[in-house]
Chain A
């Protein structure tokens, strides 16, 4: 059983190999986390998965179910972003990127846009189909706002929301496209401990909405708490993969985070 698999994924920017021959699998119903020091290539992986960057080599395979419930591998390598969204991948950004001058509700509605099926041309004229869709979409958007705890802020401008709520809104917007796989790039960045704790429960609860979550995070406590599997990147390459307790004790990981000295100190201390 697999949800998404990344095979020998590599991307070069000129001389820099930002992601180097990366392999990992995401399983359904699980939170897979991607960690690593600054510049390790984590965001670049999300950018490749969602079609913002085209990999230099390697494959991204999404597993879909056919009518009989069999797994069918679909190659989404190098697909454009709009196709990837239709196939069921949706992301948030490391630096919040909301539609700042639009209301929270409109942000969600934009997230739903690929499911709203009246042609753009029909927007030119009032018609029953459009009215029906808009009404339904609004009701659903309110539901999504409730899920992320923003029902009171529906008509507030995105920028006027406090920081923690902006993060939640961005997750809500990603959920609005009904993704199979949700990709969260440092959702806890800039939050205080109380907010982080609340967020980690919230992320866990999202597994009821989506089939799998790929999480990038620097906060080790949060990562160890909620991950089912952790993939550790350093200089673009995977140095370790496993359950939280396995990764925690891996020497290469400690070395990547703390440097060689850190390992020695750890050893002497241990």
Chain B
């Protein structure tokens, strides 16, 4: 019990602080808090893919936008409630995740980058041009408040607690996943795919599962976003959004879900704060850029990696010789 508490202490602190916060915040601050909660769900879903699954997706915004558009489109055409749309959101985003996972067991490194980026571009192009369904560039406006089985969440405070419910659920489910055979095998694959195969792990189904689950949670965040903003338009879901999401994960630490929550909180609140200083706000993209370069270095897709590996392996060899000499003596 004590160890469980210790392990999830950061998570508990964040949840308690955030749940109490609405007592003190004004409407504008509450909105930022809701955005942060959505970012937490979104970034945790990416951390499953990146930190556990070992795949850096540069197009995670695609799933967010699919979630947002699924609920928006259903409401626009059929006037269905949020709770009615929930299952379709899961299905459609899950299917999209499954689709993107198909080539993933056969490619690595820069090809993953290219494919995930292009996937997001394609999704965005479809949303922009499928006028009869998505209303194209115009976007869909007037999406009403969340309706849960007939109960309409009138205030933003209520909406905030709904998102916090999803934050908690996401965190709990991610932890179940990670501390199981599924999570362990996923980490094994991302550590060394060949050794994982040698232990009898089939890579393909694992890629399918991790992409599908990750997409579903990103979709849940996206669908909430549509109801928060009350409108969706294609330009919101650009690659910028994917990069921000990656930054949140990297700041919090790969595979560390409470860290991701801190990253999400930080990167949602900071830009809002920086808005006051036009100069700093303008250069925030440079910071994201730097984070991305670090991610790519860690993930072996740019020069310098060889050097890094050479240094570490020489160091290990040296250490071993020292040990061996010590033993012989």
Contacts and interface: CB of A to CB of B under 8 A. Distances in A.
Interface of A: 50, 52, 80-82, 84-86, 90-91, 93, 97-102, 106, 109-111, 113-114, 116, 118, 120, 123-126, 130, 133-134, 159, 162-164, 173, 177, 190-195
B200 A195 contact: no
A113 B202 contact: no
Given A82-B201, A123-B176, A163-B316, A97 B195 contact: yes
Contacts of B200: 81-82, 84-86, 113-114, 177
B9 interface: no
Interface of B: 173, 176-177, 179-185, 187-188, 191-192, 194-202, 205-206, 209, 213, 316, 319-320, 323-324, 327-328
A110 B185 contact: yes
A106 B201 contact: no
Contacts of B201: 82, 110, 113
Contacts of B320: 162-164, 190
A139 B200 CA distance: 21
Nearest to B180: A123
B194 A97 contact: yes
Nearest first, the 10 closest Cβ-Cβ pairs linking A and B are: A85-B200, A123-B182, A123-B180, A99-B191, A97-B195, A192-B324, A163-B320, A114-B200, A82-B200, A110-B188
B177 A162 contact: no
Contacts of B182: 120, 123-124
A80 B105 CA distance: 15
B188 A99 contact: yes
B184 A113 contact: yes
Given A101-B191, A123-B181, A125-B176, 8 more contacts: A50-B198, A84-B200, A97-B198, A99-B195, A100-B191, A100-B192, A123-B177, A163-B323
Contact of B180 (A86, A99, A134): A134
Given A101-B187, A123-B177, A173 B209 contact: no
A111 B304 CA distance: 33
Contacts of B324: 191-192, 195
A52 B194 CA distance: 9
B180 A113 contact: no
A91 B198 contact: yes
B209 A120 contact: yes
B198 A113 contact: no
A157 to B, nearest CB: 11
Contact of A93 (B184, B198, B319): B198
B192 A98 contact: yes
Given A113-B181, A123-B177, A190-B320, A102 B328 contact: no
A116 B181 contact: yes
B183 A123 contact: yes
B177 A124 contact: yes
A192 B180 contact: no
A19 B316 CA distance: 34
Nearest to A159: B316
A50 B194 CA distance: 12
11 contacts: A81-B198, A82-B197, A93-B198, A97-B192, A99-B191, A106-B184, A110-B184, A110-B201, A120-B181, A123-B180, A123-B183
Contacts of B209: 120
Given A100-B192, A120-B205, A162-B323, A192 B187 contact: no
Contact of A124 (B173, B188, B198, B316): B173
B323 to A, nearest CB: 5
